[in-house]
Amino acid sequence: MKENFKICLQQHFFNKKLTESQVEQLVSLQYHLKPEKIQQDFNQPKTHQKALYSILSGIGIIGTLALTCMIIFLNISQIPITEKIAKEVAKNHIKLKPLEIQGDSIEVIQKYFTELDFSLINSKRYNNKSWQLKGGRYCSIQGFTAAQLRYKDSSNHIHTLYQVEHFPELLSKIELPQEQEKPLIHYAKGLTVKIWNEKGLLLVSVDSTQHLHNK
């Protein structure tokens, strides 16, 4: 239904053509409503009128392009914010950029993240002997500064855990599950992305098992 609406809307604007009378009215506005000047211009050779028609047609095309861009923008803005986050962190995870700080505990690497306005937490989901913290680096989630922590599980699969403040601007009115609840799950670039709220922070984890297996 949405696609049909777009097509009909675009065809409507592309098929719009100005009559000679409408052209005269537009030119009248351009010349501050001076009818004698309009009459003089339209007594000129047809090439002059054709040039004018070409200019007005160009304006119509520009307007149609602007309308198309607006429709695309509205479609993008309708994508759920959690889905945008999932795609962003999955892309960053696959790159596996070098760690900026190495350490096997939150307390050790916390000293590096001085630009954060919050303290890193030991997530309950990653706080057992099955997970080994390797270090972290700065990153961003939807433009907000975040910490990207890297873990290895008992099978040496790499997992990425993102921690960022739960800004109202970031998630609006979305209520995320707490750490004791089942996380929100998205799939992006063949990876499993989990999103939840823990101790007032937004946490996002990426499971790399499938990505590494495909390699």
Which of 34-43, 76-85, 97-106, 166-175 is predicted most confidently? Answer: 97-106
Residue type for position 62? I
Last residue of some domain: 55, 77, 99?
A: 77
Give pLDDT, residue 60.
Answer: 65
- Indicate whether 51 and 29 sit together in one domain: yes
User: Which of 77, 104, 123 represents a domain boundary (last residue)?
Assistant: 77
53 pLDDT band, cuts 50/70/90, is low
Full residue range of the structural domain in which residue 169 is found: 81-214
Q: Answer with the one of 77, 110, 125 that is the final residue of a domain.
A: 77
What's the pLDDT at 50?
A: 62
60 lies in the same domain as 115: no
pTM for the model stands at: 0.62
What is the distance between the alpha carbons of residues 76 and 78, in angstroms, rounded to a whole number? 5
Looking at the structure, tell me whether residues 92 and 185 fall in a common domain: yes
